[in-house]
Amino acid sequence: MEILLATKNPGKITEIKSILEPLNIMVLSLDVIDGDAPDVVEDGESFADNAQKKALTVAKWAGMPALADDSGLVVPALGGEPGVHSSRYAGEEGNNEANIELLLERMKEVPVTERLAYFVCILVLAAPDSRTWQAGGRVDGLISFEKQGTGGFGYDPVFFYMPANRTFAELDLNAKNRVSHRYRALEAFGKMWPEIEGELEGSV
C-alpha cells in the first residue's frame, strides 16, 4: 500500500518513513509526484482542522491516500497559546528564535508550578474519495526559564521533559523521537493501520 506524505519537511519525512515502512506501508514524498503540489493555507481553528485540510487537498490532487500532520505547543497558563500558531507565534513563519523569545517574555512572571505545557500532534490520512482517519499523540513537560541545549528545533530548547530531566534540545535525536508527540501519533496510527488498509483495499 502506498501513501503520500503531504509535507516537504525532510525531517518529518525521515521520521515518518522510519516508523511506518516496517508496517509494509510504502511512504512516498511529494517530490516523486509530477506537478507542483497545491499550497494549503493552514487557517483552521485546531490542529485537526489543519491536518485534515492538508490531507484532503493532497489526496484529491494526487489521486491517492495522503497523510498529513499538524502539531504545536500548548501552554495552559497562556490560554492555550501558541497552539495552532506555534510556527508563526511571533509573526514570521518559522522564526524559532523570535517565537521562543516571545514565549519566554510572556511566561517570565509564571511560577514553575504553573509552567505546564504539552506538544500535540494530529495525523490525518485522507483518501481521494474524502474519507479520513485520525490519530493523535501528546507529550507533557514544562516551559523552562531559559533556553537549554542546542539540538532539536522549534520550541525544543525551552520544553523541559521531566522523565529525562532535560529539555528536548538536550536529548539526542533517537531519544527524543522515542517519546515525541509525533512518534506517539504515528504509533497510534500504526495500530489503526490494519483496519484502515482493509477499508482502502475494499474500495479499490
Domain assignments of the chain as residue spans, ordered by start: 2-202
**What pLDDT was estimated at residue 201?**
83
Pairing of strands 116-126, 66-74: antiparallel
**186 backbone φψ class: left, alpha, beta (φ>0; ψ -120 to 50):** alpha
Active site residues: 70
Grid coordinates in use for 77? Answer: 497558563
pTM: 0.90
**What pLDDT was estimated at residue 96?**
92
| Mean pLDDT, rounded, of the chain | 92
**What pLDDT was estimated at residue 24?**
84
Architecture of domain 2-202: Alpha-Beta Complex (3.90)
Please list the ranges in the chain whose pLDDT falls under 70: 34, 202-204
**What pLDDT was estimated at residue 34?**
65
**In Å, how far are 39, 65, 79, 92, 105 from 184, measured between CA atoms?**
27, 21, 24, 28, 30
